[in-house]
Structure 1
Amino acid sequence: MIQTDRDNTLFNSVYHEAYNYVSDYVASVIYDCLQAGGIHFSRHCYQRREVIEQLRPVEKYRSLVYWAVSFLLQQNFLEEKEGVLQTTGYAENFAKQRPSVSVNIEPSLQLIDHVGRSWVEIVTGQAQALPVMFGASGEELWERYFNNSHDLYAVHNQWAAETLADLIQKGRSKILELGVGYGSATQALLAECALRELQIEYTLSDKSLFLLRKARNALKQREEAVITSVAIDINRLEQHAEKQFDLIYAVNVLHCASDIEKTLRDLRGMLSTGGTIVISECVRSGYGHKLHQEFMFSLMPGFEMINHSPDDPAFGFLTPADWQGLLQRAGYRHVEISVNAGGNIRGAIAVGVRE
């Protein structure tokens, strides 16, 4: 069952206005990137294949350039008539001014600018994606992005934390978090547990030992949980099959699994009878709808193309219906999918039970 979350306090009009602004901001950066690559929509009309021919991306990034064109069309920076692309004039009129809302979107804008400065060099093979994205100042920008002071990201953490806290039973529940990353989802959950006076046994996990140690050190002073940590690769869960948890928690992690259905099936085996998995994911309404986050994440390993249309691709983020089908095929019962309030689908919470 797919239902809409009725709470408008998180995904309210301010959130959606800020999200829409960031989407246009990404389009403006893409437009500038293509201009830097010699593609001037204000002077010439192009067919899609001519954009590829002009930019000359390496083979593995051709689909990213097609995505970029599709995103510009979606955001009304371009229009296509009889197969010919031309500017709408919106790009020239778009001023990179902050929206008139009191939310912190700077981490998104700074990361977008950081990627945009090297995007042409990356897609044309003149630079390597990971050293650019995580080297020098990049690491700090990612940590700011995955932080609860970043309002566009924090709402997903808070929604997930409230959902999981609602499921914690009296007594001490054993919880596993997958892909702790920089720890912002963990911090949101522990704060929610403290607010409700809930006691838990909490196991942090991540493939990266560096991130795992960093998150563990940041949580040393928390008193509402007994915290342990373990290195877990979501693609090799068979090594941890003997572990049993009441709840498994994953925030924007499982879309990176190489075989999501298998990973979900393996996780089901790690739940105690009656145990529940809670998954929070950014989602799209359909594969034809592009998300601004794809601009950054499509350059990262594990963030693969999810459809079979190389000239109109989508990367990484699934639909609510996809998550419902995956959980059901993996053997979960009482599967419920909730999408955010506010009309435009941005995120979903997926819940499934092992019986």
Structure 2
Amino acid sequence: MPETDALAGLDKGARVVIRQAGSEPLAALLLACLDAELVAVPVHPGAGDEEVAELARRVSASRIVSGRSGRPVEVTELPGRPDHPEAAGLALIMFTSGSTGRPKGVKLSRRAVLGNARKTAELHGITPQRPHGTCLPLFHCNALVMSLYGTHLTGSPLVLHEWSDPAAYFDALREGGARTASIVPALLSDLVETGPEWPESLDYLITAAAPLSRDVAARFHRRYGPRIRQGFGLTESINFSTLMPLLDDADFVRECVERVPPVGVPVPDTEVRIERGEVWLRSPELMDGYWEDPKTTSRTLTRDGWLRTGDLGDLRDGYLVLRGRRAETINRGGEKYQPADLEERWRRVGTAVPVAEPSLGQEIGLVLAGQDIESVRPLLSGGGIRPAVVQSGGLVTTSVGKPRRTLMGRQLAVRRDSGRRYEELLDYAATSARAVLSGPHHPTCPQAKHIYEQIEALVAAHTTPVTTRSFLRTAAHDALDALVEAWPSIADGTTGGEALMRAHHGLWRRLMTEWPMGDHAQLMAEVLQAGGALNGRVLELGTGVGNTTSLVADRIDGELVWSDRLPEMVERGRWPGRGVVYDLDAAPPAGLGRFDTIFATNVLHCVDDPARTLATLRSLLVDGGRIFLAEGASPTLPDETPWALDHLFSLWDGWWDRGGFRSRWQWLSLLAGAGLRDRGLSVLRAGRHDLGGVVWARR
């Protein structure tokens, strides 16, 4: 085949840099290198030509094999040194970010790689009768060593699947009869949201690359039970160094739901010790060192064979539990980024910090010192790696001026939504919109005409239907159905939003508390908690059904005042504190006082004059007090694709004649216009779609 033909004529020990799209051709190249005793240097298929050329130069490679998607394989001959002394006995050189941002070449010997592959295959019972599957990229150690080499050495079938959606992965595992399969926490979150039927043959899933959060563990357990084993390892320790046993229900809840999920016990022939809080490993299957970097090697490997992992952890009931990173590396769903590298890439506009995120493990935050938040607008609207949270002001440093990244990251919060799930909702919304357009009832009143225009915009933008639907229905689907059913009377103005709500008892509450609207409330609660904004006097605007109130009321250390323009909504409140009637288009109620925190979730887009309202709210803040706004976004893509529920909320939410959702930059501009400073933002993203998020500022 052309991929393996590209290796012809190379001497043993020659380094081959491989940039190959597609799991199957990459697998063929990697196995051919292994069998020919060549040293494979796999890199991300998206790596640029300059980066690939630089890595090839550093390892004195003899050849670059590049297979881009849809293009023929390209082979570049180089004057390499097959007999380079550092290449002796190697199977792989895996590049990983270094502490300075310069990638480090991890030297992995054939002995260590094959030993770990055999060991992990045995631990999971990978045999010719027990196929294994993976959806992870083969240019990472996990899939490369355990999945590819492990099945190769044991003659076992390997189900290779390039992740597109959870249901497709489970379909592939089912078709291939996989007994075990790999995944990572970032994909687990999508899996449990989708909830496809568990493949009959599958015993359990194996997760690693980033720590499993309690939230994801709990949701997985509710859907699938305890059929998951978490492990831990580094590129420097080949692959898995620890692994959890398969737990029963009670043990899984106790270890992984009620407490931080552990990463297991040492695999055979591996030792673990905690040295001043840092996890150290010793095993016959460690790296030989870093390519042409003896200084970093000596800092990482001790003379008596221990690997300093840089991970913080402790032992709990015999299980290793990870507590963070010593070097503050940002681990975004298994992709590791050094802050210094990100800051250089972003032209040093601020300080990169790790921010906890339930599905990825960590997201990337950016703290600005001295710069206005407008300075990062091009960065956030561009491609590539972008910060998901930005804070203007609040830079914290040590006594010698080094940024305290972990501390700053803990003061921020962000959430990532399932891209696939949102695409399916968008498709459902477009389908319901087409049902309205294809009917005989045309709008005759102003509100219905506005809704009709939004329906037309949605259909025009959404031209590619989703082929499969695998996520569970929510109130959003029911509300879209209700709109289509009532459209004849909506079109002529006979039925309005409030009448439709009354006809579907409880639907409004469900709509605001279930996905996707509930995620805005959840993100607001997490931003307030992380930012220390639940202390003192706290005012909530437009409390409504209490979708955010219920998440924060018990956490407030001080006084909560909740408010709504409708007296009946205020009267229904049963939270600690007190409720007041407050119409944001009018003056504040007398005697309201001043507040340390004011927050509102999807409320201010309904006011008549946002600038005037924000100026009033500023007057209700104490000096140093903050205001937080969670708002949706429309459009969600640069091509002007509307938010999936735009037309629905034009009916139900009553803002159809007030402009609808604004962009976060419009809100940030309005906050600045109200005389507020230290602005910040947290993006709620669902795959490629920007669903808005939270913005804030300080008086």
Q: Please, what TM-score do these two structures have when normalized by structure 2?
A: 0.39
Aligned match for 2:478, one of 93, 101, 110: 110
In structure 2, what residue type is equivalent to 1:179? G
Q: Amino acid of the residue matched to residue 207 of structure 1?
A: R
CA distance in 2, matches of 1:179, 1:190: 15
Map 1:181-330; keep pairs closer than 5 Å: 181-190=544-553, 193=555, 199-214=557-572, 216-217=573-574, 219=575, 226-240=576-590, 243-284=593-634, 285=636, 288-300=640-652, 302-305=654-657, 316-330=660-674
Cα deviation, residue 26, structure 1: 1.1
Match of 2:81 in 1: none
Deviations 1:27-50 (Å, cap 9, x if unpaired)? 111111222227xxxxxxxxxxxx
Q: Which residue of 1 aligns with 2:679?
A: 335
Verify the 8 A CA contact 2:520 2:630 in the aligned structure 1: yes
User: How many Å apart are 1:105 and its aligned residue?
Assistant: 4.1
Q: Is the 8 A contact 1:158 1:189 kept in 2?
A: no
Residue 502 of structure 2: aligned partner: 135
Identity %: 23
How big is the shift at 1:338?
2.6
Report deviation, 1:18: 1.4
Offset, 1:181: 0.5
- In 1, the alpha carbon distance for the partners of 2:639 and 2:672 equals 21
Aligned to 1:47: none
Task: Give the aligned CA root-mean-square deviation in angstroms.
Answer: 2.7
Amino acid at match of 1:5: A
Q: C-alpha displacement at 1:297, in angstroms?
A: 1.4
- Whether contact under 8 Å (1:340, 1:347) holds in the other structure is yes
- Greater helix content: 1
AA of the residue aligned to 1:133: L
Paired with 1:353 and 1:338, the residues of 2 have a C-alpha distance of 15
SS in 1 for 2:640: coil
Instruction: Tell me the CA shift for residue 336 of structure 1.
Output: 1.7
Q: Answer with 283-292 or 104-113: which moved more.
A: 283-292
Cα separation, 2, equivalents of 1:169 and 1:59: 41
Aligned partners of 1:59 and 1:247: how far apart in 2? 38
The answer to whether the Cα contact below 8 Å between 2:598 and 2:626 also exists between their aligned partners in 1 is yes
More strand as a share of residues:
2
Q: What's the offset of the Cα at 1:305?
A: 4.7
Aligned residue in 2 for 1:80: none
- Pick from 496, 512, 515: which aligns with 1:146? 512
Secondary structure class of the residue paired with 2:611: helix
Are 1:100 and 2:470 matched, yes or no?
yes
**Alignment TM-score, normalising by the size of structure 1:** 0.74
Separation of aligned partners in 2, 1:135 and 1:275: 38
The higher-RCO structure (CA 8 Å, 6+ apart) is 1
Tell me by how many angstroms 1:300 deviates.
4.5
Distance in 1 (CA, whole Å) between partners of 2:522 and 2:498 is 31
How many angstroms apart in 1 are the aligned matches of 2:560 and 2:413?
29
Deviation at 1:302, TM superposition (A): 4.1
Q: Are the counterparts in 2 of residues 235 and 263 from structure 1 also a CA contact under 8 Å?
A: yes
* 1:83 corresponds to: none
Distance 1:10 1:239 in 2: 34
Alpha carbons 1:206, 1:231 under 8 Å: kept? yes
The CA distance in 2 between the partners of 1:331 and 1:256, in whole Å, is 21
Matching residue of 1:62: 449
Which has the higher Rg, Structure 1 or Structure 2?
2
Q: What CA distance in whole angstroms lies between the structure 1 residues aligned with 2:591 and 2:584?
A: 12
Residues 35 and 8 of structure 1, relative CA distance in 2, 3 Å threshold? farther
Deviation at 1:156, TM superposition (A): 1.3
1:166 to 519, 530, 533: 530
What residue in structure 2 maps to residue 5 of structure 1?
Answer: 388
Moved more, 247-256 or 68-77: 68-77
What is the rounded CA distance, in whole Å, between the counterparts of 1:9 and 1:235 in structure 2? 30
Q: Distance in 2 between matches of 1:111 and 1:302?
A: 15
Greater than 4 Å deviation, 4+ residue runs: 6-9
Are the structure 2 counterparts of residues 288 and 120 from structure 1 closer, same or farther at C-alpha, using a change threshold of 3 Å?
A: farther
Picking from 420, 427, 430, the partner of 1:27 is: 430
The separation in 2 between residues aligned to 1:9 and 1:260, in whole angstroms, is 25
Q: Does 1:76 align with 2:479?
A: no
What is the rounded CA distance, in whole Å, between the counterparts of 1:169 and 1:57 in structure 2?
47
d(CA) in 2 for partners of 1:56 and 1:275?
46
| Contact 1:33–1:120 (Cα < 8 Å) also in 2 | no
Report the counterpart of residue 221 of structure 2 in structure 1.
none
* CA distance in 1 between partners of 2:577 and 2:677 (Å): 29
